[in-house]
Structure 1
Amino acid sequence: MQIPYKPILPKNAPPIVIIGAGGIVGDAHLPAYKKAGFKVTGITNRTRARAEKLAAQFDIANVFDTVEEAVANSAPDTVYDITIMPEQFVETLNKLPDGAGVLIQKPMGDYFWQSNEILEVCRRKKLAAAINCQLRFAPFVSAARYLIEQGLIGELYDMEVRVTLETPWELFPHVMIHPRLEIQYHSIHYIDLMRSFLGDPHSVMAKTLKHPAKTLSSSRSTILFDYGDTMHAVINTNHDHSFGPHNQESFIKWEGTKGAIKARMGLLMDYPHGVPDKFEYCLVEDGKAPEWTEVKLEGSWFPDAFIGTMASLMRYKSGETDILPTNVEDVIKTMAVVESAYISSDIGGVIVADRFIDKQL
């Protein structure tokens, strides 16, 4: 079976200017753009030396001292790739030309009030703005989406994300100290992914937890989505499984009335080295025992999915398509689910003892 899963590239890719020079830029953004043949014409960062290092490594012609300088010296059709921390988004967006194309690093704000501020400035300046929710474009996700959209696994009734491994948070020093670490900076990927397949949930139930021997604000979460009486949608993450690779897991699974799909997210296992991804599906045929078929896919979440988010923005901005999958109007709904998950975690569930009050009397 031929499964189309690679992103559609723009016919004429505009230049890119990157605002920010953190680790993710060198690890994913720039390798992805190089692989796709996109031209990065400039980069700016508060610490110029970091921008200069990446410019030398990836042959970027211009290093700018400020966002204002970058804008003043860039072509009108330039697409801006913002890779700084969320509290700096609004200030930076206000410095961009009205109507510009801009890809904003996720999350869309650290708190929902910030998300609304980001949405407001994007609307006011009429920006073609997308959030870099790049998991939607990972090869194994695009392949699964094709099989499901073709109806090959029937009616989808179960979607599960499970992550059980040891995450080296120390590689992300600015993130690991965040008071909303696990859901806001990790499970947000899976929340956004769930929405992209299932739509907006009616409600969400969640609990995010600390490790007793660590100072992290949270490192394990369970998130359950309410999509009615037949759809089971759940995210389970455990970043504290420090017992070797034998029982580590990192997968997305879709089950339908006529088949199932399972994708191993190899990137997260032994991060940042990763292990190979694995994509397999099972189609049920009458009178035959179920069999799983593995499909070899090129590329992985990093860096290939970053081609998808940028390519979709470029094609939208040029008029090649009227669909911008991760536009701010859509991702604000992901942020609403994230916020609801935190509220649910804080409020807690039904107090079991309350069910027995009458009996105790």
Structure 2
Amino acid sequence: MTTQLNMPQNSKPIVIIGAGGIVTDSHLPAYRKAGFRVLGLYDRDYQKAQSVASQWDIPHTCQSIEELVSLARSEDCVFDIAVPASEILPILQKLPSQVGVLIQKPMGESIEQAKAILDCCHEKNITAGINFQLRRAPFMIAAKKMIDEGLLGDIHDVEMRVICQTPWNLWKFLFEKERMEVNYHSIHYIDAIRFFLGDPQSVYCKTMKHPKMMELAQTRSSIIMDYGDVIRANIHTNHGHDYSPDKQECFFKIEGTKGAIKIQIGVILNYPQGADDKFEFILDDGKGWRTLAIEGTWFPDAFIGPMAGLQCKLEDPNYIWLNDINDAWKTMCVVEACYQSTASGATAVKY
């Protein structure tokens, strides 16, 4: 199954701030696949930026954000920011007004930073979005299409389950974060569930350490997103399953009154080697579980949609952009509620 994306009629060139692994592994491969032109690159590590630019045929490596802004002004570029969340706001403050900006998730380290980012974009009339790209993955688009066509009936159960061994050493900056697992990983699943079910009325959450990963703030979470008395929406993550890949799991399951979908998300399994995605579904037609072949995967294909959407939004202000910053703000509100739930604690058992 091919999942179609809306693409801009005349795409603008892109300048990127940040040259880390997410850029080289996902942004740049996605943009090349989509035919988007990356014109300039800036990173605080100029030599790293030069190396990445050389590998990806990016014509301009800039030594400052100001130099990159000058290039973007002269060539009518859009900005792609891919830096740790604490660095987003200072960068936005250096950008011109009335430009297009795509920002790598999360939208700040806290709800206060998220609000400051939102306000900055509004004040400067920046067309901005957050790169919550899981909702743009080909298998998620296929699932949404089946649901919108009514094939699954009324959705009443959504579950995200991750049991894996994540090599956190690949992202050194995460070891300094007070808020880690939910803000930098489970946030994807919170956003994806919002994509399917809308905004929850409340959340229950416990996010915690692992005894073999005590230097990280949290690496495991249990989250219940509350949609009332009929819909169950759960997220369960354990990044410390170090007992070989054989029993690792990573799936997104949706159940309705007429059918169900189960998606294996292969990139998370045995990371970074990964495994194949698998899209299975069952309907009330008596044919049992079937497999649907999906063209493309999360990395890098899901990174095409957010950038394509930004450029479509710039062409047509009425275009509904799935990654719009005003929608992303609501995902950050759910994340904040998760941390508040963890801090407030559970109801004590009286014996």
TM-score (norm. length: structure 1): 0.94
Structure 2, gaps ≥5 residues long: none
State the partner residue of 1:291.
288
Q: Secondary structure at the match of 1:212?
A: coil
- Give per-residue Cα distances to partners, 1:283-341, cap 9 Å, x unaligned: 112xx3x5111111121110000001111111111118521111111111111110110
Q: Secondary structure at the match of 1:186?
A: helix
Question: How far did residue 261 of structure 1 move?
Answer: 0.5
Task: Note if contact 1:10-1:320 (Cα within 8 Å) is conserved in structure 2.
Answer: no
- Give per-residue Cα distances to partners, 1:147-192, cap 9 Å, x unaligned: 0011111000000000001000001111233221110100000011
State the partner residue of 1:211.
210
State the partner residue of 2:303.
306
Counterpart residue type for residue 267 of structure 2:
L
Q: Structure 2 matches for 1:161-180, cutoff 5 A?
A: 161-180=160-179
What is the distance in 1 between the residues matched to 2:172 and 2:92?
Answer: 25
Count of aligned positions = 349
What is the distance in 2 between the residues matched to 1:5 and 1:154?
Answer: 21
What is the distance in 2 between the residues matched to 1:72 and 1:129?
Answer: 19
- With over 3 angstroms needed to count, the CA separation of the structure-2 counterparts of 1:87 and 1:51, relative to structure 1, is same
- With over 3 angstroms needed to count, the CA separation of the structure-2 counterparts of 1:192 and 1:297, relative to structure 1, is same
Q: Structure 2 matches for 1:35-50, cutoff 5 A?
A: 35-50=33-48
From the CA coordinates, give the structure whose radius of gyration is larger: 1
Runs of 4+ in 1 over 4 A off after TM superposition: none
State the partner residue of 2:266.
266
- Once superposed, what is the RMSD of the aligned Cα atoms? 1.2
Counterpart residue type for residue 349 of structure 2:
V
State the partner residue of 2:314.
317
What is the distance in 2 between the residues matched to 1:33 and 1:51?
Answer: 17
State the partner residue of 1:275.
275
Task: Note if contact 1:107-1:185 (Cα within 8 Å) is conserved in structure 2.
Answer: yes
Q: Structure 2 matches for 1:235-254, cutoff 5 A?
A: 235-254=235-254
What is the distance in 1 between the residues matched to 2:247 and 2:44?
Answer: 42
State the partner residue of 2:340.
343
What is the distance in 2 between the residues matched to 1:225 and 1:186?
Answer: 16
Q: Secondary structure at the match of 1:298?
A: coil
Task: Note if contact 2:163-2:239 (Cα within 8 Å) is conserved in structure 1.
Answer: yes
Q: Structure 2 matches for 1:68-83, cutoff 5 A?
A: 68-74=66-72, 75=74, 77-83=76-82
Identity in percent: 47
Task: Note if contact 2:3-2:295 (Cα within 8 Å) is conserved in structure 1.
Answer: no
What is the distance in 1 between the residues matched to 2:108 and 2:115?
Answer: 8
State the partner residue of 1:329.
326
State the partner residue of 1:359.
none
What is the distance in 2 between the residues matched to 1:79 and 1:175?
Answer: 28
- With over 3 angstroms needed to count, the CA separation of the structure-2 counterparts of 1:342 and 1:150, relative to structure 1, is same
TM-score (norm. length: structure 2): 0.97
State the partner residue of 1:51.
49
What is the distance in 1 between the residues matched to 2:60 and 2:175?
Answer: 31
Question: How far did residue 274 of structure 1 move?
Answer: 0.8
2:184 is equivalent to residue 185 of structure 1? yes
Task: Note if contact 2:174-2:216 (Cα within 8 Å) is conserved in structure 1.
Answer: no
Question: How far did residue 7 of structure 1 move?
Answer: 2.1
Counterpart residue type for residue 31 of structure 2:
Y
Segment of structure 1 superposing worse, 316-325 or 176-185 = 316-325
State the partner residue of 1:16.
14
